[in-house]
Amino acid sequence: MFSSTHPLQEVNIKAQLTEICLLQIGEKSLFTKELENALERNEVDLVVHSLKDLPTTLPPGFTIGAVLKRENPHDAVVLHPSNAGKSLDTLPENSVIGTSSLRRAAQLKKRFPHLDFKDIRGNLNTRLKKLDEKNDFAAIILAAAGLRRMGWESRISQILEPEDCMYAVGQGALAVEVRARDADILEMVSILHDPDTVLRCIAERAFLRRLEGGCSVPVAVHTQVKDSQLYLTGAVYSLDGSNSLKETMQVSIAAGAQVDEQVQRVGVTANKIPGAVQDEAEKLGIELADLLLSKGAKEILTVARQLNDAR
């Protein structure tokens, strides 16, 4: 296709086509699909994703063979250099905050009504460049985990606590996706599983799947393991944050009998973690979602999805 063009022209054409694709189908879904295509063609034996980018139902033949120890899952505020020393609370009225996340915007609009939230797109480098080199944004909101993994922890001005902004399902965790039939590869990567992270993320993913949620609707979670108890807080929001439902449930995750069979739970295969405990985590997510649904969560999410689709 590009055989008759100059190498630099070829790069530019490819870049333009990629930008068009990203705008049309979304950067996360594009890159996730490309990696899965390579896995399906046996070009690679495993791929690594941010777990929050993976749907709760994977394509047939794939599974998450490992969920690594979770980095800080919270969101972070990165201020424009001119606002050094400030926080979201102390920024001037109508300061513009950049975020591409409906979840973040919905929560923060309610918590910080004096601020104005607008879309910002691109990878971390692109967003930070837009923040630093222009005066369009007073601050942007990013995942703390991504900043830390890139070595940019010094850019974090404020970590948002759950009271201000709960995080996305799976945020901060890395997932290793493999072909479900490859028992040897599954066995090899299984040593990477972090038990607490696996259970927290199974509960979160089960919650999201039951709600039939996704990136097009504001769904947020907060989980923790303490004293052999798994706590899950889940919430749904309208796009402007004015309407919301939030509840917390817990379950015991004391060690149970080991189950070695390859069973997927919301896309995760964790053979070395007791199956009964995984079942409890999955059940917790489902029951919390059912509680919110009984209180009107479906109506909130349906309206949010319709409004987002119409934008």
Active-site choice (104, 179, 200, 209)? 104
- Under 8 Å between Cβ of 115 and 95: yes
Measure Cα distances from 278 to 89, 102, 191, 294, 304 in Å: 40, 29, 16, 24, 31
Measure Cα distances from 140 to 85, 124, 135, 156, 232 in Å: 15, 11, 12, 10, 27
Start-to-end Cα distance in the chain: 35
The DSSP annotation for 237-304 comes to E-TTSSSEEEEEEEEE--------S--EETTEE-TTS-HHHHHHHHHHHHHHHHHHHHTTHHHHHHHH
Active-site choice (86, 127, 155, 305)? 127
Active-site choice (86, 103, 155, 305)? 103
Among 38, 92, 2, 54, smallest CA distance to 214 is for 54
Active-site choice (52, 70, 86, 210)? 52
Active-site choice (14, 33, 118, 121)? 121
- Residue 201 catalytic? no
- Residue 200 catalytic? no
Measure Cα distances from 44 to 12, 41, 156 in Å: 28, 8, 35
CA 308 to chain centre: 18
- Residue 103 catalytic? yes
Measure Cα distances from 267 to 117, 221, 282, 305, 307 in Å: 34, 18, 11, 24, 29
- Residue 127 catalytic? yes
- Residue 53 catalytic? yes
- Residue 121 catalytic? yes
- Residue 104 catalytic? yes
Catalytic residues: 52-53, 103-104, 121, 127, 215
